[in-house]
Amino acid sequence: MRKRVAILGSTGSIGTQALEVISKHPEIFEVTIITARSNVELLISQALEFIPKHVVISNENEFHAVYDALSALPIKVHGGDNALSQVVRIDEVDIVLTALVGFAGLIPTLNALKAKKDVALANKETLVVAGELITEEARRNSRKIYPVDSEHSAIFQCLAGETGNEVEKIYLTASGGPFRGMTIDELKKVNKKKALMHPNWCMGNKVTIDSASLMNKGLEAIEARWLFNLMPDQIKVIVHPQSIIHSIVQFTDGSMKAQMGLPDMRLPIQYALGYPYRLKSDFPRFDFTDYPELTFEKPDTKVFRNLVLAFNALEKAGNMPCIMNAANEIAVEAFLSDKLDFIQIPEIIEKVMERSHFVVHPTLEDYTKSDKQARDIALSLI
């Protein structure tokens, strides 16, 4: 039987690349659900190509446009955020690829695990916001969470075959983004266009800005804590401008394993969807002679303060990562809307973390309340 895949966020960067991977292996995968927020034209095009059983458009105002375009086909069209959260429960799904951006990925991922579906997770905010809740739900239902982020996929691959070997620490590699090496004064002059020009990766706008501010690496550190059951002091970040080594695992005997390759998100997507098998691909291959030097350096946390704020949230735990994530989402959105300077993003996040109500052992309701309160505070500051 082919593996039946639901793609939440099929019109985004990860979603479109996932469909490309699936199209190369029609004998292995079948697309049963695709969803989008409001990119109607691309969603309809994808539905016409893959003929999934279900299509969800979260923006209900666009429901009729999608429904009318697909009415002649054996496809059920759903509208609204609630439909997005519920459709993952259907029987015709084996694995859910969560490629949504931000807090929006939490409830659909939680519902997928409750419905005993494996999850390929490209939405790092889900584990940042509610890592303990999500991992416990996966354990309770004997489900797997397969990481799709290149860094976490690298760690996952390095741990294969190492059962019983204790991890001493992991190294998450960061490209450093477009502003690597800049001073605080130089950061005050950067604009949106420059921030969106990532040197190595092609990603959505929000993730690209997070990469430029190093918040992306902070979010990944929190995600890694839950994916691999690590303590904060076992997680290190190093800047690796070439983005060839995607992450490193160091074991207690002192040996280290690294996963390498060209920066291409299709590889970790394919690995997560096809696990435990390595599927053949025609992706470009890495050649050492093209990269005579692989370099590493410490991140400049005095300039890129988001990384410090993320590790502070990781250390404090409770609902603090949820608060930090919400504040960051609002601050990044404000920067992309020209309402905030790049250098002000960590200022907003830090103030929100100081003013929000802290909960040591949050429930799902607490996470929802914390997210809303943090967003409201951030908006008032902006």
pLDDT for the residue numbered 103: 85
| pLDDT per position as a tens digit, 178-220 | 999 999 999 999 989 988 987 776 677 888 999 999 999 999 9
34 strand-pairing partners: 7, 55
pLDDT for the residue numbered 201: 67
pLDDT for the residue numbered 114: 96
Give me the chain's average pLDDT, please.
Answer: 95
| pLDDT per position as a tens digit, 266-321 | 999 999 999 999 999 999 999 999 999 999 999 999 999 999 999 999 999 999 99
pLDDT for the residue numbered 349: 98
| pLDDT per position as a tens digit, 303-312 | 999 999 999 9
Averaged over 324-333, what is the pLDDT? Answer: 96
How confident is residue 102, by pLDDT bands cut at 50, 70 and 90?
Answer: confident
Is pLDDT above 70 for 96?
A: yes
Using the structure block, give the residue that is written with the tokens 């609002």: 330
Count, residues in the chain: 382
Fold of 3-147: Rossmann fold (3.40.50)
Percent of residues, the chain, with pLDDT higher than 70: 99
Q: Which residues contact 371 (CB under 8 A, 6 or more apart)?
A: 103, 129, 322, 323, 325, 326
Q: 360: part of which helix (H) or strand (E)? A: none
pLDDT for the residue numbered 124: 87
Per-position DSSP letters for 73-134, written without gaps between them: SS-EEEESHHHHHHHTTSSS-SEEEE---GGGGHHHHHHHHHTT-EEEE--HHHHHHHHHHH
**Domain locations in the chain as residue ranges:** 3-147, 152-262+287-316
pLDDT for the residue numbered 197: 85
What is the reported pTM? 0.92
Averaged over 64-76, what is the pLDDT? Answer: 97
Averaged over 124-131, what is the pLDDT? Answer: 92
| pLDDT per position as a tens digit, 246-263 | 999 999 999 999 999 999
Q: Which residues contact 111 (CB under 8 A, 6 or more apart)?
A: 85, 86, 88, 89
**Torsion (CA) 258, 280, 262, 175 in degrees, nearest 10:** -60
SS3 207: helix
In this structure, the strands spanning 118-121 and 167-174 are unpaired
Percent of residues, the chain, with pLDDT higher than 90: 91
